[in-house]
C-alpha cells in the first residue's frame, strides 16, 4: 500500500502534505463544515467535496516561492473561508458549468478553491479556471507551482 501512496503524487507533494498533517488513511469529520456552510451560505455538500475534505480538510501550507511553471502560492483547505460568499460561488459555479463546493483558498485567500461533483477542482474569485480534473492533480499543482 505504501508504494501506491508513493506514486500518488511527487515526492515533493508528499513531503509538503505530510508536513501539513496529511497521512495515508487520514479521515476527519466534515459535519461541522457542512452544517456551517449550509446555515450561512445555503451550500449543499456533494460527495466529491465530502471525500476531499475528509482526507485533506484543515490542511494549510504557507509555502511560497518559485514553482515549476508558476509561483507557489500556499493554500488553506478550509471550506469556511467562503462561509459568507455564496453569491461569489453562484457566479463561479455558473461560469464553470458545475456546482462548485468551497474547499479552501489559495494565494493568501485571494482566490477560492471549489470542487465539482465530478471531482474537478476550480480556482477563482472574479472568474473561474479549471485547476485540475482530479483532487490529487490539483494538490500536485498547488504544491509544485504548476499552471
pLDDT, tens only, 69-110: 887 888 999 999 998 899 999 999 999 999 999 999 998 788
Residue 39, C-alpha cell as written in the block? 446555515
- Cα–Cα distance, 31 to 15 (Å, whole number): 28
C-alpha cell at 103: 474547499
What DSSP line would sit under 60-123, residue for residue?
EE---B--SSS-B--EE--GGGGTT-HHHHHHHHHHHTS--EEEEEETTTTEEEEE-TTS-EEE
Residue 4 predicted with pLDDT over 60: no
Which residue range forms the structural domain that includes residue 25? Answer: 2-144
Number of domains in the chain: 1
Q: Enter the pTM of the model.
A: 0.90
Instruction: Give me the CATH number covering residue 108.
Output: 3.40.1580
Beta carbons within 10 angstroms of residue 94's beta carbon: 12
Amino acid at each position: 500500500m505504501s508504494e501506491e501512496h508513493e506514486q500518488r503524487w511527487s515526492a515533493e507533494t508528499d513531503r509538503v502534505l505530510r508536513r501539513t498533517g496529511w497521512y495515508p488513511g487520514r479521515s476527519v469529520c466534515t459535519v461541522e463544515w457542512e452544517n456551517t456552510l449550509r446555515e450561512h451560505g445555503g451550500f449543499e455538500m456533494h460527495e466529491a467535496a465530502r471525500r476531499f475534505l475528509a482526507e485533506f480538510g484543515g490542511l494549510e501550507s504557507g509555502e511560497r516561492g518559485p514553482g515549476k511553471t508558476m509561483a507557489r502560492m500556499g493554500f488553506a483547505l478550509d471550506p469556511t473561508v467562503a462561509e459568507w460568499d455564496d453569491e461569489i460561488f453562484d457566479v463561479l459555479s455558473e461560469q464553470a458549468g458545475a456546482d462548485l463546493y468551497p474547499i479552501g483558498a489559495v494565494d493568501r485567500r485571494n482566490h477560492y478553491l471549489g470542487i465539482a461533483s465530478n471531482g474537478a477542482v476550480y480556482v477563482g474569485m472574479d472568474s473561474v479556471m479549471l485547476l485540475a480534473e482530479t483532487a490529487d492533480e490539483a494538490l500536485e499543482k498547488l504544491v509544485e507551482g504548476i499552471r
